Structure 1
Amino acid sequence: MSIQLERTYEPLTELNVIEVIRELNYFLLEQENELVVNEIGDGNLNLVFHIEHPATKRALIVKQALPYAKVVGESWPLTLDRARIESEALLTEAESVPHLVPKVFKTDRTLAVTVMEDLSDHTILRKALIEGSTYPKLAEDIGTFSASTAFYSSDFHLHPFEKKEQVAKFTNPELCKITEDLVFTDPFFDHDTNDFPEELIDSVEKLWNDEELLRNAAQLKYSFLTRAEVLLHGDLHTGSIFITENSTKVIDPEFAFYGPAGFDLGHFFANLALNHLSQNAHAKEPFNRESLQNYLLETISNTWDTFENTFSDLWHEKAAGPFSKTNGVLKDFLQQTFQDSIGFAGCEIIRRTIGLAHVADLDSIENKEVQLYYKKKALELGSKLIKKRSSFTTITQLTDTIRGA
């Protein structure tokens, strides 16, 4: 059965998804009977199809939002508008960093579809890091991505009217609510979405009863709720990055919204920190383990340095407004962003350890006692980053803290 684009929404299948891409003329008409279609989505929220012509190796990705969370089912309804937000975020990001995001060929709001560049020659960063791979351009690319998208979407660059229009366009209440609950709320209380082994209960209850931690987590949540500073990816973990030796692509910005500038950086730092912890178990040979962990810490450090330098260069070249030339304004913004990123990293570390959505870095440690040990270490590290974030003044302090976890 063919799908007409003016029809109402219905989920695509391997049998009818070709109708969506036909008008692009990406594949020759006579090649259509030779196309190979596979549903490849393994995420929590969407359908993803890979369409390839085997002889030419030309391929496309078709991503369709489902009206519910795939990980739970129809009992957790979700807006289809997140497909619009994702495609518009990719297009907006491409205005400043086209080499760091997949190319978008087509969007369809009725079907909640985005057709984009195939990245099958790339590897998911999380998987690569667990396996011990390193990438020399990663820090520069993520630092550049974060700084460029932040500056060009901020009040430092945009006219106030345009900035407020952008904030309205990227208002994303349903997916932000997921973050508000799963990152900033549920892990800090005895909530039924939490997921952790029984043996962690003492460490978890200690966290739940730590009033200083809860107060600081509340501050970070309030910042997330209220500070519409820059356009964020909203879910910048190592599963949202495709990588090769010479290419980095940031994918899946369906959680995009305007929020505090340190949020994306914090998520990225947290996921590298979790991999750093897990390498104590994954990397069997001591020298290799030390080398991998040094690389991860250098990546955190170099990402921040690139962010700081890139944002500063853009500020000096293009910042608008009467305070753009005032000494200390840029420094204050960068310091706030840095300390925020540390606190947000702490929240991400905790939620990835005991919340609903875990990371394979820790969960794939085969020895359960070892896994429990490093999950306890993760909770201690996350708590420290949240409570002590205001005392951090240099990136070296952060990497030293992670090294000592």
Structure 2
Amino acid sequence: MAFDVPPGYRALKDADVAAYLAGVPAVANQLGGRSADWKVREVGDGNLNFVFVVEGPAGGVVLKQALPYLRLVGESWPLPLRRAFFEHQALITEARVAPQHVPEVFHFDETLALTVMAYLSPHIILRKGLIRGIVYPNLADHMATFMAETLFATSDLGQPAAAKKKQMALFCDNIELCRITEDLVFTDPWRLADGNRWTSPQLDATAAAVRSDGPWKRAAQEFKLKFLGEAQALIHGDLHSGSIMVTESDSRAIDPEFAFYGPMGFDVGALIGNLYLAFFSQSGHETRPGDRDRYRDWILQTVEAVWTLFDGRFRALWNKAHGGDVFMPDLFSSGPDQAAFDAAQDAYMRRLFVDSLGFGGCKMTRRILGLAHVEDMESIADPERRAGCEQRALRLARTLMVDGATFTDIKAVSEAARALQREAARVPA
């Protein structure tokens, strides 16, 4: 199949990588020594790209190269190489306000659609740590900060309208990756679509019921409308537990190639939804029932802390670092004015909370009934146990999407998750 690639593009192989990087002084200095001694290995286990880790005497880097097709599916699903450009732009934008929570970028090559960035070591993918039952005490703090800083800075509250419009125009061209989200997250799980799969036959009836559930289907389309039409801020666009690298003391968001100006709740919901998936998957990873009760509690405490800290930090930025053309501080200087401002801020954050729950439910649903699943569930060998975990996750997902506005706060959502888990274990509430 012929792909639309720029002159000079080629997909690098292991043998090409060292020679290429030797010609980039900033990267060669980062690695140190002779290129002949550098160790190169391809580690890409994602859905879209080649990812090479290169290690030298002085340090390591990661080279990520886009392919002109969706790696998960193959050459039958073409994708534009320009997604690498949007990822680079997003990384640079994020680094301006939250450099401690993204990888440092050393080099970008638009022709080869590749980015060279810091090799994060001894970090691992958050999802793998959640499967192993590892506690990350700083995760909520770090990710709440990352989201608050990046979303506020690129919103109408954090920057002038003219600057935002210029950035929106740039990212509006990330059409194909947005289309993947539009279809895979908001539409395909509620219809018979090519690539859909689920734990069969255990979830066959459930999948059919979802496809005929009018209120759930309507909710999915309402959130799709928000995704299509609410350009609130530059969002990461794929902030799940497979796009965060962690140690116990450090957390970094990676892979923002789906970035565009969209609803802020999509990023917050993606993280929250994936943490709930991890919560429900624990039953499939414990040796005996109850072995991971304490870890389940930690996951829910982390979800609560993510929202609570994000809410507080976003409000603090709004109050002290306002840079936009709406809700300007000098409009609300007197006592009565301040009360009106506080009410408006509360209403804004309440809408964002409900959006985050709903988008989280969308992400949970697609990871169980759609094309690309999550290792949290897929690594559960027993299909009966896996299906049970997925059933509980789907029940919460529906509630978050259809009835999210009924939750008073994030602790109430945690209690709903616990109730589903107790029901499965037949433990009285």
**Shift, 1:312, TM fit:** 0.6
**Shift, 1:286, TM fit:** 5.3
Q: Name the CA shift for 1:30/1:395 in 2 (closer, same or farther; >3 Å).
A: closer
Q: Distance in 1 between matches of 2:13 and 2:115?
A: 15
Contact 2:157 2:327 in 1 (8 A): no
Contact 2:105 2:116 in 1 (8 A): yes
Report the equivalent of 2:374: 359
**Shift, 1:241, TM fit:** 0.6
Q: Pairwise mapping of residues 212-251 of structure 1 onto structure 2 (< 5 A)?
A: 212-251=215-254
1:89 aligns to 2:90 (yes or no): yes
2:325 aligned to 321, 336, 342, which one? 321
2:279 aligned to 257, 272, 276, which one? 276
**Shift, 1:25, TM fit:** 4.2
Question: 2:107 is paired with a residue of what secondary structure?
Answer: strand
Counterpart amino acid of 1:246?
A: S
Question: 1:17 is paired with a residue of what secondary structure?
Answer: helix
Counterpart amino acid of 1:177?
A: R
1:380 aligns to 2:395 (yes or no): yes
Report the equivalent of 2:346: 331
1:298 aligns to 2:301 (yes or no): yes
**Shift, 1:24, TM fit:** 2.3
**Shift, 1:198, TM fit:** 2.6
1:262 aligns to 2:277 (yes or no): no
Q: Distance in 1 between matches of 2:141 and 2:418?
A: 21
Q: Distance in 2 between matches of 1:15 and 1:357?
A: 30
Q: Normalised by the size of structure 2, how large is the TM-score?
A: 0.90
Counterpart amino acid of 1:323?
A: F
Question: 2:28 is paired with a residue of what secondary structure?
Answer: coil
Aligned-pair identity (%): 41
Contact 1:83 1:112 in 2 (8 A): yes
Q: Name the CA shift for 1:25/1:90 in 2 (closer, same or farther; >3 Å).
A: closer
Q: Give the aligned CA root-mean-square deviation in angstroms.
A: 1.5
Counterpart amino acid of 1:183?
A: V
Q: Name the CA shift for 1:322/1:340 in 2 (closer, same or farther; >3 Å).
A: closer
Contact 2:282 2:292 in 1 (8 A): yes
**Shift, 1:181, TM fit:** 0.5
Q: Distance in 1 between matches of 2:412 and 2:34?
A: 57
Contact 1:335 1:393 in 2 (8 A): no
**Shift, 1:27, TM fit:** 3.3
Q: Normalised by the size of structure 1, how large is the TM-score?
A: 0.95
Report the equivalent of 1:3: none
Aligned pairs, how many? 398
2:384 aligned to 366, 369, 375, which one? 369
Q: Name the CA shift for 1:179/1:322 in 2 (closer, same or farther; >3 Å).
A: closer
Question: 2:391 is paired with a residue of what secondary structure?
Answer: helix
Contact 1:151 1:311 in 2 (8 A): yes
Report the equivalent of 1:394: 409
Question: 2:342 is paired with a residue of what secondary structure?
Answer: coil
Counterpart amino acid of 1:37?
A: V
**Shift, 1:159, TM fit:** 1.1
Q: Deviations over 1:9-50 (max 9, x none)?
A: 111111122243222244368511111111111111111111
Q: Distance in 2 between matches of 1:285 and 1:136?
A: 25
Report the equivalent of 1:8: 8
Q: Distance in 1 between matches of 2:393 and 2:201?
A: 16
**Shift, 1:76, TM fit:** 0.5
Report the equivalent of 2:183: 181
Q: Deviations over 1:108-142 (max 9, x none)?
A: 11110100000131011101110100100000111
Contact 2:237 2:267 in 1 (8 A): yes
Contact 2:19 2:35 in 1 (8 A): no
**Shift, 1:208, TM fit:** 1.1
Q: Deviations over 1:315-355 (max 9, x none)?
A: 00122435344332221211111100101111111110111
Contact 1:132 1:292 in 2 (8 A): yes
Q: Distance in 1 between matches of 2:26 and 2:116?
A: 13
Q: Distance in 1 between matches of 2:343 and 2:302?
A: 27
Report the equivalent of 2:337: none
Report the equivalent of 1:59: 60
Contact 1:46 1:66 in 2 (8 A): yes
Q: Name the CA shift for 1:329/1:340 in 2 (closer, same or farther; >3 Å).
A: same
1:49 aligns to 2:64 (yes or no): no
**Shift, 1:285, TM fit:** 4.8
Contact 1:132 1:283 in 2 (8 A): no
Query: For structure 2, which runs of at least 5 residues remain unmatched after alignment?
Result: 1-5, 333-340, 421-429
Contact 2:159 2:325 in 1 (8 A): no
Q: Distance in 2 between matches of 1:238 and 1:50?
A: 20
Q: Deviations over 1:270-301 (max 9, x none)?
A: 11111111112212355641110110001000
